[in-house]
Amino acid sequence: MLRYTMKRVLTGVLSLFVLATVTFFLVRLIPGSPFQRGGVSSQVVEAVEEEYGLNEPMLDQYLTYMGSLLRGDMGISYQDPGTEVAEIIGRAWPITASLGITALAAAMILGTALGVIRAVAENRALREIISAGSMLAAGIPSFAAAILLMLLFSVKLRMLPASGLLSPVHYILPTAALSLYPAAVISRLTGNTLRAELQKDYVLFARAKGLGKWRTIFTHALKNAYLPVLSYAGPASASLLTGSFVIESIFTIPGLGREFVSSVTNRDYTLILGLTVFMGTVVIAVNLLTDLLCAWLDPRMRRAYREEDV
Amino acid sequence: MKVLDVQGLCVQYHTEKKNQSKAGDAGSETLHGVSFSVEEGEIVGLVGESGSGKSTAMLAVMGLLKGKAEVSFERMSLCGEAPVPGRNAAMVFQDAQSCLNPTVKVGRQIAETIRARRGCGRKEARERAEELLDQVGIHNPRLRMKQYPFELSGGMRQRVVIAAALACEPKLIIADEPTTALDVAVQAQIILLLKRIVRETGTSLLLVSHDMGVTAALCSRVYVMRQGRIAEYGTAEEIFYSPREAYTRRLLRDAKGFRRLSAGGKERRPLLEIRYLTKEFDTMEGIRDVSLEIFEGETFALAGESGSGKTTLARILSGILTEDSGEILYRGERLERKRSGSVCGGKIQMVFQDPYAALNPCLTAGQALEEALRGAGRISGKELTREERRERIGAVLEQAGLRREDADRYPREFSGGQRQRICIARALITEPELLICDEALSSLDAGAREQILSLLLEIQKERGIACLFISHDMHVVRQVSDRIGVMYGGSLVEAGRTKDVCSDPWHPYTKQLIESVPEPDPLKAAKLKSVPVTETPVREGRGSLLSPKKLPPVGCPFAGRCGYALECCASEAPGSRRFGSREIRCFLYSEAHSGKRSEGYEMTSQI
């Protein structure tokens, strides 16, 4: 198991290296210089480029950058010369992550609860309502949901604040907008897999052993039903943790997503690279965690990983 | 004292919920006023064909039909109370694999029952679970507790299920086909275990089975069910020795076997010769030095416990696997392996065990057949026109007992037996000369099994196809085959005419195998003996499991379990010896053991 994890970490590092390399050359393909502005003369631009080492051969720049990246130094932002890239990430990510984790928790709890209800409810109307509701929710794009929620709760009812993340109350609307889609998908997945699981013989046997209905569902069926849900929730949480540009723009949240988009439009090479490598790290880490979580739930998978060790 | 007393039990399934669980599959199956009773410490059998309502009756008693069917009765009492699962009644199902939660350690699955029943602490429950595992004959229970169901063998899983049932401290255990999914050797062990459990704990047992042999071995009283009614009941002796109903007599006749249904090969020209075939795996069952021949038009059966290499052999013959060494001659010529893996232009075809998994759910029956036809056409170079193909598909479907219109239907619209008919039609459409049936009947219920069996025999008679019939069910093997090969641990230990081998086994393993099949005769079945079975090893610490299927490096694979083992058995592999129609691999039949033989010497069984 440890061997497997190490192998995954190693391949993760390799992927990050490839990611950094490809991004490094790609950003330099964007037409124009990072320092070109309307009123700036070309001499000034050249002087600044020289200052930043952009006139050196591409390969030298690459080696210098990778060298400092290995030392953990992501450089300074071109647009905002006073601040380091690490500082920008350090500022923006806690905001994005706190929102992402809240949204993830909301999606998991709500989705699982609705899924379980849909799988076990005897009332047919209730099942149908949940089913139709989750289908509708999965069909609304997050920006539409965000704007609709804002219109209703902030503009019409004036109940909730429309922008910023100053207090817990501010979290409600963006969390709702972010978690709507994953919650819908999780509830559909949980409902379907749990219903299939409940038809299996071991559930009948558990009931014949004298376990109660809810005990059977929670200690036996849900564990097996959750495996497919996890393999969706893993990548979904990675995207929640790296921030959504759309939601962050609508609710004016100074998060990672917004930084990322502005860095691209500004051709801020170091910031683009830094953010890409950082987000890549988050995605790889979250996927590894998901796989380990699945292995923790499913002994058969654990055994397969262990056999890989030998 | 009556433990269970059921009077006038009626069950009516809700028809709208057809796609509910297995019990619901029976659809319209109903019970019309069934009455039965079980005395204290008694084993009572409930027999009948599948679809006769046996399982439904049991689920109704356990109260597990809620929401699926309408249940009514005049009287239903278990020691004066209503039966409550887990409190006074417990149930053991057919398929132990699916009864255990795959992701929960077996120890916990037993302990949770104890906790639910007694409301005691974890530690106490764990200790009691260990006791129970020990009681059902599992060695090293402390280590087994920490294993998951997939790490145990089939027999051991069934023992765990029995332990979980015992954990409820029930007055009555209902066992629904508890041995049907198991090898004969393991089946004998479980039968003896159930007997011992009843004797030791004083609980009563209600056995549901379609197998008259198992019923005879266990029960003192028997109810015969037919179409939702009790057709006949009485003591085991009455039912087995002087049955009143024609239906019971038919069940008994079917169970006695030896019906010589087989078409029989009159021409003795070998169709397939296998010489010294070897294939080894790290984790799967391998085979070593297997030599046998199959004659035109005959049925050759391969028997042996799971893991003995039967399936590996079948897969090599059908081209799914390639051999490590050895050769296969087809009509005297070496088999050439095409890139596509298929051999001889579809002259060897295979029917698989699970008809649910063997058909692509996205293809209609007709498309599945057409695909097979095209594949064979590509190899032999004979392309047929669209009309010709349609005609062939229709004809072969009819031959397999389906209708021409069924070509446009999807697999999900068919029952298990019908799907197996499609699989047979798919195998037949390329006009094969050898049909390999790998446990083709094991996943079907008894009724469908009977029908498919007679279909296979009919087709064989009509077309003169040879058949390699692989099964762990000795009843079926005896019924269908002309000759039989017994495999153990990757070796073909004995081969010969089915009648000879079954009535007078020579190899010690064959003898054990034959003796572990319960006869439908209470007196004979009472002498049923247990056969030791290889157990999957316990995982030590955190390391991975030793691969249990790996062949022992030298010696006879059966040496470790053989009561007749000689010194040479462990160090040297016995060569194959031929005596008339019989071929055997055992040192008991070597000249070194029985002395030099004269010309006219006739070998007899040495055991």
Chain B: give the shortest CA distance to residue A206, in Å: 8
| Confidence grade of residue B20 (pLDDT, cut at 50, 70, 90) | very low
pLDDT above 50 (res B23)? no
Inter-chain residue contact B101 with A212, CB threshold 8 Å: no
Number of helical H runs and strand E runs in chain A: 14, 0
For residue B277, report the phi and psi dihedrals to the nearest 5 degrees. -75, 130
Half-sphere exposure of B552 (CA within 13 A, CB side): 16
CA distances (Å), B12 to each of B31, B175, B345, in order?
7, 22, 51
Neighbours of B470 (CB within 10 A): 24
For testing the chain B interface, which of A123, A204, A218 should be mutated: the one with the most B CBs within 10 Å? A204
For testing the chain B interface, which of A202, A218, A227 should be mutated: the one with the most B CBs within 10 Å? A202
Show the tokens assigned to B68: 């699926």
Inter-chain residue contact A299 with B103, CB threshold 8 Å: yes
* pTM for the full predicted model: 0.75
Q: Which amino acid is at B503?
A: S
Inter-chain residue contact A202 with B165, CB threshold 8 Å: no
A vs B, Cβ pairs < 8 A, gives 89
| Confidence grade of residue B531 (pLDDT, cut at 50, 70, 90) | low
**For B86, which of A211, A307, A309 is closest by C-beta distance?**
A211
Inter-chain residue contact A223 with B87, CB threshold 8 Å: no
Compare all CA atoms of chain B with the CA of A224 and give the residue at the minimum distance: B103
Helix or strand holding residue B435 (H, E): strand B434-438
SS3 B112: helix
pLDDT above 90 (res B536)? no
The sheet carrying B229-235 orders its strands as: B89-92, B172-176, B204-209, B43-47, B221-226, B229-235
Q: What is the pLDDT of residues B569-606, one digit of tens each?
A: 888 888 888 888 888 988 888 877 777 676 667 777 77
Inter-chain residue contact B22 with A223, CB threshold 8 Å: no
Q: What angle do CA B489, B492, B495 make, to 5 degrees?
A: 145
SS3 A78: coil
- Residue A102: the pLDDT is 93
Inter-chain residue contact B165 with A204, CB threshold 8 Å: no
- Domain ranges (residues) in chain B: 2-256, 354-431
Chain A: give the shortest CA distance to residue B597, in Å: 52
Top-confidence residue, B17 or B248? B248
- Listed in sequence order, the residues at least 6 apart from A274 whose beta carbon sits closer than 8 Å to its beta carbon are A74, A75, A85, A86, A88, A89
Q: What is the pLDDT of residues B29-78, one digit of tens each?
A: 578 889 999 999 899 999 987 777 888 888 888 888 877 788 888 888 88
The CATH classification number of B2-256 equals: 3.40.50.300
For residue A264, report the phi and psi dihedrals to the nearest 5 degrees. -70, -45
Partners of residue A122 in chain B, C-beta under 8 Å = 67
Q: What is the pLDDT of residues B421-460, one digit of tens each?
A: 899 999 888 888 889 998 888 777 666 777 888 888 888 8
Partners of residue B87 in chain A, C-beta under 8 Å = 210
User: Residue B223 carries which DSSP code?
Assistant: E
Over range A266-286, report the average pLDDT: 89
Interface predicted TM-score (ipTM) of this complex, two decimals: 0.73
Half-sphere exposure of B566 (CA within 13 A, CB side): 13
Alpha helices, DSSP H, located in A53-123: 58-70, 85-120
Top-confidence residue, A121 or B442? A121
Partners of residue B63 in chain A, C-beta under 8 Å = none
CA distances (Å), B178 to each of A101, B36, B255, B309, B359, in order?
49, 20, 18, 25, 28
SS3 B368: helix
Partners of residue B168 in chain A, C-beta under 8 Å = 209-210
For testing the chain B interface, which of A122, A198, A209 should be mutated: the one with the most B CBs within 10 Å? A209
Over range A244-266, report the average pLDDT: 86
Q: What is the pLDDT of residues B462-504, one digit of tens each?
A: 888 889 999 887 878 887 888 999 998 888 999 999 888 988 8
Inter-chain residue contact A211 with B116, CB threshold 8 Å: yes
User: Residue B360 carries which DSSP code?
Assistant: -
Q: Which of A66, A33, A23 is nearest to A267 (CA)?
A: A33
Partners of residue A202 in chain B, C-beta under 8 Å = 98-102
Q: Average model confidence (pLDDT) for chain B?
A: 81
Top-confidence residue, B238 or B168? B238
**For A208, which of B21, B62, B151 is closest by C-beta distance?**
B62
pLDDT above 70 (res B345)? no
Catalogue all structural domains in chain A, each as residue range(s) with its CATH number.
90-266 (1.10.3720.10)
Top-confidence residue, A271 or B601? A271
Q: Which of A225, A170, A183 is nearest to A203 (CA)?
A: A225
- Listed in sequence order, the residues at least 6 apart from A182 whose beta carbon sits closer than 8 Å to its beta carbon are A103, A104, A107, A111, A233, A236, A240
**For B150, which of A206, A297, A300 is closest by C-beta distance?**
A300
Q: Which of A91, A69, A86, A76 is nearest to A13 (CA)?
A: A69
Show the tokens assigned to A108: 């998991």
Q: What is the pLDDT of residues B171-185, one digit of tens each?
A: 899 998 888 778 777
Partners of residue B101 in chain A, C-beta under 8 Å = 202, 206, 220, 223-224
Partners of residue B93 in chain A, C-beta under 8 Å = 201, 204-205, 208
